[in-house]
A and B are shown apart, each in its own frame.
Chain A
Amino acid sequence: MIEFKKLSLRLGAFHLQDLSIRIDRGDYYFIIGPSGAGKTVILEAIAGLHLPDSGEVTIDGRHSTAIPPEKRGIALVYQDYSLFPHMSVEKNIGFGLRMQKCSKEEIQSRVSGLLEQFDIVHLQNRYPGTLSGGEQQRVAIARALASDPDILLLDEPFAALDPITREQIILDLLRIHRERKLTIVQVTHSREEIMRMATRCAVIINGECVQEGPVRSVFENPESTVIARFIGMENIIPGVVGGRISGLASVDVRGESVIAISGVSPGKKVEILFRAADVMVQLVDGQKSSVQNRFSATITAVVPLGGSLTQVHLDAGFPIIALVTTLSVEDLKLVPGMEVVASIKASAIKVLETNE
């Protein structure tokens, strides 16, 4: 278990402030946030490459702030792979074992095991400069695993890979995580990777951890609109709480009332958030239903997402983005300019007070 307690660190123009996160053994932990948010610095701090200005780091309950990187058992793989250009693939992978003064035979057998496991036996005598991105990435991960670390840190490992290689390496990593019961901490700004791989995550914005927890809770309950925007909440609309009806809040959004489950008191400025997938599009207002929010709207755009899904942009006095199947778009013959009805369940809408 790694724990950061109120860690502050200043590096040139950048600083981390009062960062507290906790990573449990066996987690596949994601650190997410926009570019330049300090994610790489956090990985380097976990690895012990930066001494914090204040706060502390504990690893398995031990105070580790002063333990140098070579004694932490934490391996780091950078986005640029950082293979040693003057060493062959084989020598790169064996580097950690040589540093730990392992015997020649042991190094030999561990390295060939890893070469096989990552399907790079044919590359063993090549130099990094002659390898493709995907090959370099495999070598980098094999090198990191060679000294059998407790924790593997990955800095945007897929950023520079083509989709096929990326997919293979994702599967490799998920397998390694499962088989070795390894703790992995990965930095990314891709939502898809998080949804697919992570067990827990922390959202870092401007050097500050703004939300931390199991992936599902972070994605379903963003604590601020900045986080909501970052995790890809499609509909974020400002409004004012107009009144309360039997435990529900009625929010005025440009003259329309939107009903949501919320305890925010009337008069407060808020933002309402809901996922595009929670919006239902109908041709005509049918019979009464349990859905509280029903708006007449005009389709402004139909945007295919390249798979089986299509985004439909609506104007209901305020903009709404809906996510529907491409099949439905064809069935209902949805085209721009068409009048439709958009319905959103009150329970799907989250209300956040605007901090002003």
Chain B
Amino acid sequence: MAHFSLLRDRCLLSFSLLGGLILGITVLSLVNMTVQELSDIPHLLRVAADSKVFDSIILTMGAGAHTIIILMIFGIPLAYVLARAEFMGKRIIETIVDIPLMLPHTVAGILVYILFMKRGLIGGPLYDVGFSFEDAYPGIVVAMLFVSSPYFINSAREGFEKVPVHLENVARTLGATRFSAFLHVVLPLSARYIYNGAIFSWGRAIGEFAAIIMIAYYPMVISTLLYYRFSTGGLKESSSIAFIMILACFAVFLVLRYLSRFIGRYDDRV
């Protein structure tokens, strides 16, 4: 039915053509790279078998996953407060949530570095007890956390706002505390938004470069490794790594998107 109306409807048709152009750039660049990479398969396999590349991809995705877990623990409560409470200075809090979206990533990197470096406000005391952010895994996670938090918080908040307050009110009159109502009614009904927010911010986190190298050049996340190989080994070396990362991301996101079909679809039926 959708195909049928798309072809008959001139407005939809011309919109699709215009939209196709923007998709075209992505598709063209992917096809271009695929063709190049597949022209030298032995080289591609050699890069793929390089344990440094493999480790770096695992490191990047793992740090991204850690970031999401931390975001869930702290971001969900914040998103709920923003969705349900009216208070003075709410606009200011909302702007603070969005700041990482607007800042250039190098600026975000400087902010994170100054706070978490060995002499930093948070990094200093923690360094004294043997916990370092500079050139260490925790440094990668805080940088990712900083740049990806708005995506998660805003998405979770939107999900909470979509749950009618009436449902929560009814749950409370039936004997649920505010927390129980949140746990049994609000959370299941906004699971889809939380899940999608997590996917987006995970994607954002694993794609970060500038903010991460400022605090943690080592261990090398995939974008750092790619940049390093680009500046030392040239285009051929780095584009193979890029291609492998693209395949890995594509596979993971496809699976995650597929799984999202099974999560929290009840709201569609009301």
Contact = CB atoms under 8 A, between A and B. Distances in A.
B130 interface: no
A99 B180 contact: yes
Interface in A58-94: 68-70, 72, 74-78, 80, 82, 84-86
A78 B174 contact: no
Interface in B154-188: 164, 166-167, 169-178, 180, 184-185, 188
Given A49-B169, A82-B167, A86-B188, A95 B174 contact: yes
A82 B166 contact: yes
B8 interface: no
B267 A74 contact: no
Contacts of B176: 70, 95-96, 99
B174 A44 contact: no
Contact of B172 (A68, A85, A146): A68
Nearest to B174: A96
A118 interface: no
Contacts of A127: 266, 269
Instruction: Determine the main DSSP class of B at the interface with A.
Output: helix
Contact of A69 (B172, B266, B268): B172
B270 A129 contact: yes
B177 A76 contact: no
A128 interface: yes
Interface in B208-254: none
Contacts of B166: 78, 80, 82
A47 interface: yes
B144 interface: no
A100 interface: yes
Interface string A148-183: 010001000000000000000000000000000000
A86 B189 contact: yes
A186 interface: no
A130 interface: yes
A82 B170 contact: yes
Point out which of A82, A128, A129 has the most chain B C-beta atoms below 10 A from its C-beta. A82
Nearest to A155: B166
A95 B173 CA distance: 11
A188 interface: no
B175 A147 contact: yes
A143 interface: yes
Contacts of B264: 86
Nearest to A76: B173
A146 B175 CA distance: 11
A85 B175 contact: no
Given A49-B169, A129-B270, A85 B174 contact: no
A85 B188 CA distance: 10
A85 B170 contact: no
B169 A47 contact: yes
A92 B20 CA distance: 46
Given A86-B189, A127-B269, A128-B270, A75 B169 contact: no
Interface in A95-154: 95-96, 99-100, 127-130, 143-144, 146-147, 149, 153
A70 B173 contact: yes
A49 B267 contact: no
B185 A84 contact: yes
Contacts of A74: 173
A315 to B, nearest CB: 49
18 contacts: A47-B173, A68-B178, A70-B176, A76-B169, A76-B173, A77-B170, A78-B166, A85-B189, A85-B269, A86-B188, A86-B189, A86-B264, A95-B176, A99-B171, A99-B174, A99-B184, A127-B269, A153-B173
Interface of A: 44, 47, 49, 68-70, 72, 74-78, 80, 82, 84-86, 95-96, 99-100, 127-130, 143-144, 146-147, 149, 153
- 8 closest A-B pairs by beta carbon, nearest first, are A129-B269, A96-B174, A86-B266, A99-B175, A69-B172, A82-B166, A76-B173, A85-B266
Given A49-B172, A95-B171, 14 more contacts: A44-B169, A47-B169, A68-B178, A69-B173, A70-B172, A76-B173, A77-B170, A85-B189, A86-B189, A95-B174, A128-B269, A129-B269, A130-B269, A143-B174
